[in-house]
Chain A
């Protein structure tokens, strides 16, 4: 009982201290719905560094991960506030697909980012493919993780064909997750589709799928079916990125596809085996993508939000993207420390193929379930 009272008093004191220290600082309301590794990184790295540099601002981070539609709900609220002239209570979206709801761009909900309002935007690389309202600031790509204790250096696959051959030669040693349950497994499947369509991701344009490409999907199913019996436990596919990492961590398998950021972070925390190495295919890398931030035009603290956008694109934070969350920088290597590039050379490529998603993903997932995961022939 005493302890409970004491903790209540302590909590009250803490709240008091914080509210006193917050006086005189303008808040910047940041909303995040990304995974824990990202929200933790904001709390522990970005926010303290930003507030040290800009003592006039106080960043208020709200985590909406798993709550309804996450940031999309907050953006809808901001749109409603824009139309009625109310306070949207948000200044900055950590990650938001600004194109996911057409009404947002139609009503000019987001600030167009230019070198005038965010000077560091000039360093952002072409590969991020940004539209004016987007602030790309961290990337991530799927790669191969293997245990060098059991996989010797000379047998590490460098091409997709070699990977297929390695899996067939080492039954039960490889696993990837169901393509709809995590990007690391999806990359294994989309890479098979790229393989049979001439390794040219630029042919895959978002929108209505190209029938000529779709007609070639069965070849990808045949390729993936050829390794099905050699997957972990004769063809068992876990339901997510994390379960795959777990199988790798406890030594059930010795090679997996994994997100670069999740793998690097797990290595840094000592969760993966000592001999864990990461590599990327040389003929065409696995897919990846960037996270884009956005600022609503009616942000109550627009100035602070733009300062924050500029701050996350500084070499300091972009280095932290690589070192702390295992992500890819969104700015050019020219402005980043040279030794950083050397250190992550084998992992970070300059080409990050993207999969168009949408209808293409529906066809990819359904095709995989009906042709690779099952032994039932639908046509019969």
Chain B
């Protein structure tokens, strides 16, 4: 039954291809019309992106690279040398990298087993786990912060439970880097699990069954089949999470220490409190360039996926 359906659709594809090659002139104008329509459809969002994102970003970058001497603008890297020679700024940038990478590592440690479990098991418990994994999606960041303060803080829920079972000397992570990581991991779970399970669903059961038939054990299946097939969704989850974490604000600001600061908090501080828009702009451009590089990785991954999909067809 399924096979017949499948072959039917295949033959349809073939016939369609044949008609297009047979009538090139008729399809040419239609193709043009279609292309024009497509461009018309993408024009508004594209225009919005160019006007609201690309042009201001380029202007910002240009501004940070010019310095005006006696009213004559000239090229200068002085804003960047100032940033990189200031120990506090550099320390904040390093701190942001550390927190981001540690958080990403923790996200994968938590989410990968969760995604594997959700892919290969079914039933009531699995659907409960699924709902729980998606739950953070519906909790606003600021609510999460106050909940974590109450849960992790000195004399909070965790402290109380631990002392009930005889463990004393609990030191709270609140207002320390650890609390930022905990908060960010919690927030990233639903998205990461969604992407990873979606990726794992592409690994067909038949592939695993046939591997098992020829004698592969679980570890071999994981290493030789699942891991290569999930590399791309994992890279997508990595890059999108990186972007979110690197520029995060609410969680590091409410749960983290006063110093060092992550770039999001540092920028806001420099702009709003120290009243130094120029320095804040430089910090923003540096953050933007780092994120743009990761964004490039993401775009490349998605583009490659699209190309291989088209080849498969």
Indicate whether A369 sits within 8 Å of B269 (C-beta atoms), given known contacts A236-B174, A239-B254. yes
Q: Are A251 and B274 in contact (CB under 8 A)?
A: no
| Among candidates A246, A366, A369, residue contacting B149 with C-beta atoms closer than 8 Å | A246
Query: Would you give the shortest CB distance from A272 to chain B, in whole angstroms?
Result: 14
Whole-angstrom CA separation of A20 from B19 in the bound complex: 73
The 8 closest A-B pairs by CB, nearest first: A236-B175, A374-B259, A373-B258, A252-B154, A373-B259, A237-B258, A366-B274, A180-B273
Asked if A14 lies at the interface with its beta carbon under 8 angstroms from chain B, I say no
Whole-angstrom CA separation of A289 from B156 in the bound complex: 34
Residue of B nearest to A240 (CB): B254
Q: Are A252 and B269 in contact (CB under 8 A)?
A: no
Q: Which residues of A310-361 are within 8 A (CB) of B?
A: 359, 361
Asked if B119 lies at the interface with its beta carbon under 8 angstroms from chain A, I say no
Q: Which residues of A226-251 are within 8 A (CB) of B?
A: 232-233, 236-240, 243, 246-247, 250-251
11 A-B Cβ contacts within 8 A?
Answer: A180-B269, A236-B176, A236-B258, A237-B258, A250-B154, A361-B273, A362-B274, A366-B274, A369-B269, A376-B87, A378-B86
Q: Which residues of B274-309 are within 8 A (CB) of A?
A: 274-275
Asked if B224 lies at the interface with its beta carbon under 8 angstroms from chain A, I say no
Q: Are B273 and A365 in contact (CB under 8 A)?
A: yes
Q: Are A365 and B274 in contact (CB under 8 A)?
A: yes
Tell me whether chain B's interface is mostly helix, strand or loop, or mixed.
loop
Q: Are A362 and B154 in contact (CB under 8 A)?
A: no
Determine the chain A residues whose CB is within 8 A of the CB of B253 once the complex forms: 239
Whole-angstrom CA separation of A236 from B258 in the bound complex: 7
Query: Would you give the shortest CB distance from B278 to chain A, in whole angstroms?
Result: 14
Tell me the count of chain B residues lying within 8 A, CB to CB, of chain A: 26
| Among candidates A233, A239, A240, residue contacting B172 with C-beta atoms closer than 8 Å | A233
Asked if A370 lies at the interface with its beta carbon under 8 angstroms from chain B, I say yes
Asked if A377 lies at the interface with its beta carbon under 8 angstroms from chain B, I say yes
Determine the chain A residues whose CB is within 8 A of the CB of B212 once the complex forms: none
Asked if B199 lies at the interface with its beta carbon under 8 angstroms from chain A, I say no
Asked if A380 lies at the interface with its beta carbon under 8 angstroms from chain B, I say yes
Whole-angstrom CA separation of A239 from B153 in the bound complex: 14
Query: Would you give the shortest CB distance from B276 to chain A, in whole angstroms?
Result: 8
Indicate whether A251 sits within 8 Å of B258 (C-beta atoms), given known contacts A236-B174, A239-B253, A378-B86. no
Q: Which residues of A160-188 are within 8 A (CB) of B?
A: 178, 180
Per-position binary interface string of chain B over residues 114-139, scored 1 when its CB falls under 8 Å from any chain A CB and 0 otherwise = 00000000000000000000000000
Q: Are B274 and A380 in contact (CB under 8 A)?
A: no
Indicate whether A238 sits within 8 Å of B175 (C-beta atoms), given known contacts A180-B273, A243-B149, A252-B153. yes
Given contacts A240-B254, A246-B153, A376-B259, 5 further A-B contacts (CB under 8 A): A233-B171, A233-B172, A236-B175, A250-B156, A369-B258
Determine the chain A residues whose CB is within 8 A of the CB of B88 once the complex forms: 370, 374, 376, 378
* Chain A interface residues toward B at CB < 8 A: 178, 180, 232-233, 236-240, 243, 246-247, 250-252, 359, 361-362, 365-366, 369-370, 373-374, 376-378, 380
Asked if B141 lies at the interface with its beta carbon under 8 angstroms from chain A, I say no
Whole-angstrom CA separation of A250 from B258 in the bound complex: 21
Q: Are A237 and B175 in contact (CB under 8 A)?
A: yes
Asked if B155 lies at the interface with its beta carbon under 8 angstroms from chain A, I say yes
Residue of B nearest to A369 (CB): B259
Whole-angstrom CA separation of A72 from B306 in the bound complex: 50
Query: Would you give the shortest CB distance from B248 to chain A, in whole angstroms?
Result: 14
Determine the chain B residues whose CB is within 8 A of the CB of A359 once the complex forms: 275
Query: Would you give the shortest CB distance from A62 to chain B, in whole angstroms?
Result: 24
Whole-angstrom CA separation of A369 from B259 in the bound complex: 7
Whole-angstrom CA separation of A377 from B253 in the bound complex: 22
Whole-angstrom CA separation of A180 from B260 in the bound complex: 16
Determine the chain A residues whose CB is within 8 A of the CB of B60 once the complex forms: none
Whole-angstrom CA separation of A251 from B175 in the bound complex: 17
Determine the chain B residues whose CB is within 8 A of the CB of A243 once the complex forms: 149, 254
Determine the chain B residues whose CB is within 8 A of the CB of A370 once the complex forms: 88
| Among candidates A236, A362, A377, residue contacting B273 with C-beta atoms closer than 8 Å | A362
Whole-angstrom CA separation of A237 from B175 in the bound complex: 7
Q: Are A362 and B275 in contact (CB under 8 A)?
A: yes
Determine the chain A residues whose CB is within 8 A of the CB of B154 once the complex forms: 232-233, 247, 250, 252
Whole-angstrom CA separation of A24 from B273 in the bound complex: 49
Determine the chain B residues whose CB is within 8 A of the CB of A178 once the complex forms: 258
Determine the chain B residues whose CB is within 8 A of the CB of A376 once the complex forms: 87-88, 91, 259-260
Whole-angstrom CA separation of A361 from B305 in the bound complex: 52
Q: Are A251 and B259 in contact (CB under 8 A)?
A: no
Residue of B nearest to A179 (CB): B273
